[in-house]
Amino acid sequence: MPAEHYIDDTSHIVTTTWKGNAIDSEFLESLKEYKNNIQCKPEYFNYNEIFDLSKADNIKLTINGLINIGRMASNTDHLFSHKKLTLIVASNSAFGIARMYETYRNMGISCCKKIRVFKNEIKTIEWAIENA
């Protein structure tokens, strides 16, 4: 899988770094794996998340893919948990795709995460740990 996860128990942050090409099917598989191996464990329910796409070679996500990924992700949110999800991107086009994902993700009825998109890793980490 092109997604690598790092769990920081001190800061209560799960960081996922994506390497290689980013395509719909791999995103969906990775999200399922993340849900089953990390997100479903009670000890991580209140961890904030950083998703680093800045090292992806190409981002080739379709509108339908973004909608499906956003829907699946929002359905995995734990109600009454006020976590943060931040996305790190490297280019303007990736920023636009990440903002579209943010929009589709927030359409979910159970979505209760604060989501932000950044191009700067330091600002991303600062926001993720702020009030954590």
What 3 state SS string does the chain have?
CCEEEEEECCCCEEEEEECEEEEHHHHHHHHHHHHHHHHCCHHHCCCEEEEECCCEEEEECCHHHHHHHHHHHHHCCCCCCCCEEEEECCCHHHHHHHHHHHHHHHCCCCCCCEEEEECCHHHHHHHHHCCC
Between residues 18 and 80, the one the model is more confident about: 18
Calculate mean pLDDT across residues 95-108: 84
Strand partners of residue 116: 86
Q: Which position has the token pair 């932000």?
A: 116
pLDDT(111) > 70: no
Other CB atoms closer than 10 Å to residue 52's CB: what's the count? Answer: 21
Q: Considering the entire predicted model, what is its pTM?
A: 0.88
Calculate mean pLDDT across residues 29-48: 87
pLDDT at 81: 64
pLDDT at 15: 94
